[in-house]
Structure 1
Amino acid sequence: MSRPTAPVSRRSTKTEYIETDTGNKISRRAYIEGKQNIMLGGKTVIMAGVHLRGDLCRKPEPAAEGEKEKPNTTAISIGRSTVVSTNTTVRPPMRLHKGQMTFIPMRIGDNVFIGPNSHISSASISSHVYVGANCVLSPLCIVKESSKILPNTVVPPGMTVPAGTVVGGKPAKILGEVGDGWGQGGGGEGEEWVEGGDLRALVRSVK
């Protein structure tokens, strides 16, 4: 007579990503500090090993007597359909303000792809930007829309990457333009994602 088989567990297996009401996908292995100071626009992916430093934010000025206490400033704001790849650190930049070091809120736009093992401390990254693997975006640099940063690039502090350009090197230099057709295609049902394009297809593929 055979032994009775053990009952099958009905508990659902945990998935790699937690999905929010607005379609953001956040890896359970991401490190997020200061969650209350981070805004995600929707359908954005935060992969494993990513470190978001929302705790590095500008402290609100003390409220005057009789006034309500002001809320903390948003430290990191990320737009829609943006992908932050594995083991990347996103850290708001610092600067001297009124004799004290203070953190500057960071703004990342829509359809931005940030490659793995990068360190991001820029003031802003506009929409439709592609950042390759192992890049360093130094404090207070600005990356304009529809630009491409090649892998292993170091963008120096305070540099502005013009719109529609390709930069590379250590330190980064402008190597050319992205050209006609940059970012066209992608995002539609069944389409593959393209650099600088609509990243919804890539977001959907992340499980």
Structure 2
Amino acid sequence: MDLPVVRYSKSEYIETDTGNKVSRKSIICGSQNIILGGKTILQTGSIIRGDLRRTGHGQAVVVSIGRYCFFSQGCIIRPPCKTYKGSFSYYPMKIGDHVTVGEGTIVQAASIGSFVHIGKNCVIGKFAIIKECSRIEDNTVIPPAAVVPSFTIYGGSPGKLVDELPESIQEIYETRSKDRYAKFIPISE
């Protein structure tokens, strides 16, 4: 399936030196604690919470995002948290390369591997681990601390294995994410 060309107003997006395209209508809290690897697109209304981090000394990077990632409208990315030995803390989140997060999805995973597609209106629970080369279907709830193995498709509430992906999925997702980036172009003004 060929992706359509998406045209956007150049005044609505900020393009960084590394090719990231960030909507002025997205919400980025604690930007000094967020790393965007390059050629990542944050659409209108997407939220990344880099301000939710441990207090005191420790990890300064809260959310690390790889290259060619796509965050759809209204998705929320926030680091996982828990109370341990009476102390409440947030923990860092790592997102790999070529990851797509659908509209209205909430992600609180510990890590998401590369070449992952997460559908619309999903909830990825605290400290979940989504391994590389996997897909989460629309409206799926992945429970806290769950592990989604590589080359699998998870769906439902709670999310469970519904199918497997071919070994070629890495190339398919990589081609699709590069194609999406190339077809996300400004309107001539």
TM-score (norm 2): 0.88
User: Deviation string for 1:159-194 (max 9, x for gaps)?
Assistant: 000011110000000112112432434xxxxxxxxx
Report if the CA contact (8 A) 2:151-2:167 is conserved: no
The superposition leaves residues 92-113 of structure 1 with CA deviations (integer Å, 9 ceiling, x where unpaired) of 0102234201001000000001
Cα deviation, 1:44-91, whole Å, max 9, x if unaligned, reads: 111100011111011233xxxxxxxx7x62111100000011100101
1:48 aligned to which of 41, 44, 49: 44
Q: Which residue of 2 aligns with 1:159?
A: 146
2:101·2:117 contact (CA, 8 Å) conserved in 1? yes
Equivalent AA in structure 2 for residue 30 of structure 1: S
Matched, 1:86 2:77: no
- Give the count of matched residue pairs: 176
Letter in 2 for 1:200: K
Q: How does 1:1-207 map to 2 (within 5 A)?
A: 14-61=10-57, 73-185=60-172, 196-198=173-175, 199-207=177-185
Gap regions ≥5 residues in structure 1:
1-12, 62-69, 186-195
Any stretches of 5+ residues in structure 2 without a counterpart? 1-8
Higher Rg: 1
**What one-letter code is carried by the residue in structure 2 that aligns with 1:100?**
S
Larger helix proportion of the pair: 2
Q: Any idea what SS the aligned residue of 1:197 has?
A: helix
Matching residue's letter, 2:65: I
* 3-state SS, counterpart of residue 184 of structure 1: helix
| TM-score (structure 1 length as normaliser) | 0.81
Q: Matches of 1:109 and 1:82 in 2, distance apart? A: 8
Contact 1:147 1:165 in 2 (8 A): yes
- Looking at both structures, which has the greater relative contact order when contacts are Cα pairs under 8 Å and sequence separation is at least 6? 2
Contact 1:60–1:73 (8 Å) recurs in 2: no
Specify the code of the residue in structure 2 equivalent to 1:31. Answer: I
Looking at secondary structure, tell me which structure has more strand per residue. 2
